[in-house]
Homo-oligomer: A and B are copies of this chain.
Amino acid sequence: MEEYLLLDAGSGGRASQRLIGSMFLRHFSNEALNRLDDAALLNVSGPLAMSTDSYTVSPLFFAGGSIGTLAVHGTINDISMLGAEPRWLSCAFILEEGLPLAELEKVVADMGEAARKAGVKIVTGDTKVVPKGACDKIFINTSGIGEVYASPVPSGHSAKTGDVVLASGTMGDHGLAIMAARSGVSFLSGARSDSAPLNGLAREIYEATGCVHVLRDPTRGGLATTLNEIAEQSGVEIEIEQAAIPINEEVKSGCSFLGLDPLYLANEGKLICIVPENLAQKALFAMRANEYGQEAAIIGQVREGRPGRVALRTEIGGKRLLGMLEGAQLPRIC
Contacts and interface: CB of A to CB of B under 8 A. Distances in A.
Interface of A: 6-8, 10-17, 35-56, 58, 77-79, 81-82, 84, 88, 90-94, 123-126, 128-131, 133-136, 139, 141, 143-146, 148, 153, 155-157, 216-217, 219-221, 225, 229, 233, 266, 324-329, 331-332
22 contacts: A10-B331, A12-B219, A12-B225, A12-B325, A13-B325, A13-B327, A15-B326, A15-B328, A37-B82, A37-B155, A37-B157, A38-B78, A38-B216, A42-B48, A50-B124, A51-B90, A56-B135, A92-B141, A94-B94, A130-B332, A133-B133, A135-B135
Contacts of A134: 56, 58, 135-136, 332
Contact of A47 (B41, B47, B55): B41
Given A47-B41, A155-B35, A130 B141 contact: no
A128 B94 CA distance: 14
A77 B39 CA distance: 10
B90 A39 contact: no
A152 to B, nearest CB: 10
A326 B54 contact: no
Contacts of A46: 44-45
